Amino acid sequence: MIQKNGADNIVLIGMPGCGKTTTGKLLAKMLDYKFIDTDHLIVEKTGKSPRQIVEEHGRDFFLNIQDEVVLSIKQSNCIIATGGGIVHSDTAMSHLKSLGFIIFLDAKYDIIEERMDSSRKLVRTNGSLLELYNERRPLYCKYADASIDCNSVDSQQLCKRILKLIDNA
């Protein structure tokens, strides 16, 4: 379907709460693609969540694990949902760009804040959610091949927007 840099994967990036996993699973089903969640791959590899790894071993250790996991992805016909902090790794983002079309699911800060609850506590060593949002947003824009406004839409509508975007890519 997609032929960007010889790859046919769709990579979803964005803040936690923007809908990467929910939308990614639905999109994979619609396209009959495999769904890959990089955070899930990290748990499979280490037995620990990204949050646990950062808290126990630090951010640099986590970024190394994340890079290993992302570099192990070699498949085609996949929807890849990434952890929100993936954009802090040039290594991971370069590999993902070689694998497919990167779409930034762009949600306003207020919506991200509203969707976050205690069960989805972000991994951050210091600073507020707003500071993290402001730090990451330019990185999402830097790496994205395209961005989609995902404010005020459900996953079904978001998938339709992504499919339309891809048809025009």
Q: Is 23 left (phi over 0), alpha (psi -120 to 50) or beta?
A: alpha
**20 among the known binding-site residues?**
yes
Q: Is 22 known to sit in a ligand binding site?
A: yes
Q: What is the distance between the alpha carbons of residues 32 and 40, in angstroms, rounded to a whole number?
A: 20
Q: How far apart are CA 143 and CA 140, in angstroms?
A: 5
DSSP bridge pairs for 132:
none
Q: Is 84 annotated as a binding residue?
A: yes
Q: Is 110 annotated as a binding residue?
A: no
User: What is the C-alpha to C-alpha distance for residues 11 and 73, in angstroms, rounded to an integer?
Assistant: 12
Tokens of 37: 């969640």
**Is 38 marked within a binding site?**
no
Strands 34-37 and 78-81: parallel
Question: Is 59 annotated among the ligand-binding residues?
Answer: no
Find out whether 25 is annotated in a ligand binding site: no
CA distance 19 to 158: 9
Q: 46 labelled as ligand-binding?
A: no
Residue 19, annotated as binding a ligand: yes
* Residue 29 assigned ligand-binding role: no
Binding residues for Mg(2+) are 21
Binding residues for ATP: 17-22, 120
Binding residues for substrate: 39, 84, 136
Q: Which residues are annotated as a binding site?
A: 17-22, 39, 84, 120, 136
